[in-house]
Amino acid sequence: MLFNSLEFALFLPVVFAAYWLAARRGTRASNWVVLVSSYFFYGWWDWRFLGLLAASSAVDYWASLGIATSEGRRRKLLLGLSLGFNLGMLGFFKYYNFFAESLVGAFSFLGAPLSFERMDIILPVGISFYTFQTMSYTIDVYKRQMEPTRDALAFFAYVSFFPQLVAGPIERASRLLPQFLVPRSFDLVAARDGVVLILWGMFKKLVVADNLALYVDEVFARPELFDGLDVAYAAVFFGLQIYCDFSGYSDMAIGLAALLGFRLMVNFMQPYLSLGIAEFWRRWHISLSTWFRDYLYIPLGGSRLGQARTNLNLLVVFLVSGLWHGANWTFLVWGALHGGYLVAERAWRARVPAGAGGWPRAVLAWAMTFAAVSLAWVFFRAESLAQAFEVLARLGHFSFDHWAIASARFSPFDFKAALVYLPLLVGVEWASKDHLVSDWLAAKARWARWAFYLGVYLLVITLGNFGAEKFIYFDF
């Protein structure tokens, strides 16, 4: 069930009404509504995978209770049970074919071919998100950073919470779980801000992301037919597409949670305004980047063990991050590029004082960051390394009749419409820097807010691509 689908438009009002009616009877009643509606929402894709969601929740709920009352070896065994189950489940469904095929390829290269029959495994939607969410809970209990809850209903509702279940943000239990343990009352201001975020998220997804996809998909499907400018536009447009697709989902998730009285963490903060790769990762997919920082980078030693070890830790983290995104060598290259970018940036910043050069240096830093990120997106978008290198090879080809050819090639893509929604996106991103768009708008005059709401709504219904495109991160 997609947020931008008719089914969800029917689902949400029913859940909203049932939830606030149940809230009058207490926290447990409202948590039951969350749990039942979340399982219904998830089962809409494939009911068979409800067992995986329930099993992940059950294992981590009971393991954490045991960890909290145990010492020594038993605590470690229970933590190992939790991590082993979640990583094993994730590894089988997401990586079995990739690792098996890579192993067969390696043995074939060494002259010892192996036989392998590929398994037709369906990737459960959201498995990378909810397994990381439950693992962080168990690890935090093990590290004695939080006490486990004995309220199984609240915990199961927290893990399955439908606004952020299938594509994040990856919420920490220490932040979100306590919200399931206390009474909640309807807040009109929070609900209004939530509706604004849902509207803005719809604009990002339907108007920007799904329309840019028409251009991007055509270039990547047949790169040999296009010249360097086409490819450059496609790389930039894909960067905007994936940002608006994923941050649009996050905005809608935050808004939907607000309608039910919950506060989710901010997952994006205008990352394309960054002046460096490190800043980009402080602003992009914040819930994942902080997860890897706290549960992988710091345990590996972080930056405490010298420059060489720090660089190695960064590379390891970003290779794992690439693999988290998908079982394909393209994602590993994407992760390696970002790890290499960070290593190079740290070396550069150690030599050049911060703030030197004024605004010309800031503009150059922004341009270099944007170009580096856009280059890496080619590998993220490509279906294979061969396709990625083919796309990049076209950058050196240029046709003098480019504009005439481009307008004919991209018949489904409306260049004139892009001249409306892209400036609006960039302008709002710039004006609302370091704020959610709902918070930015809250400080404006009423007439300005309503003009914005009406304008964005009209763009959604007139320019929105309602082709039921799924969210990109549903594949991860």
Residues annotated catalytic, as ranges:
325
CA-nearest of 39, 252, 244 to 163 is 252
* Contact by Cβ (8 Å): 240, 212: yes
| Longest CA–CA separation in the chain, Å | 73
CA 101 to CA 328: how far, in whole Å?
A: 11
d(CA 283, CA 277): 10
| 224: DSSP letter | G
The tokens for 79 are 């933590």
Task: Report which DSSP code applies to 147.
Answer: P
Q: What's the distance, Cα to Cα, between the start and end of the chain in Å?
A: 16
C-alpha 357/C-alpha 338 separation (Å) is 25
Quick one: angle between helices 329-351 and 385-393, nearest 10?
A: 60
**CB 311, CB 346: distance < 8 Å:** yes
Q: Distance between CA atoms of 217 and 213, rounded to whole angstroms?
A: 6
- Look at residue 183 and give its three-state secondary structure: coil
Cα 20 to Cα 26: distance, rounded to the nearest angstrom: 10
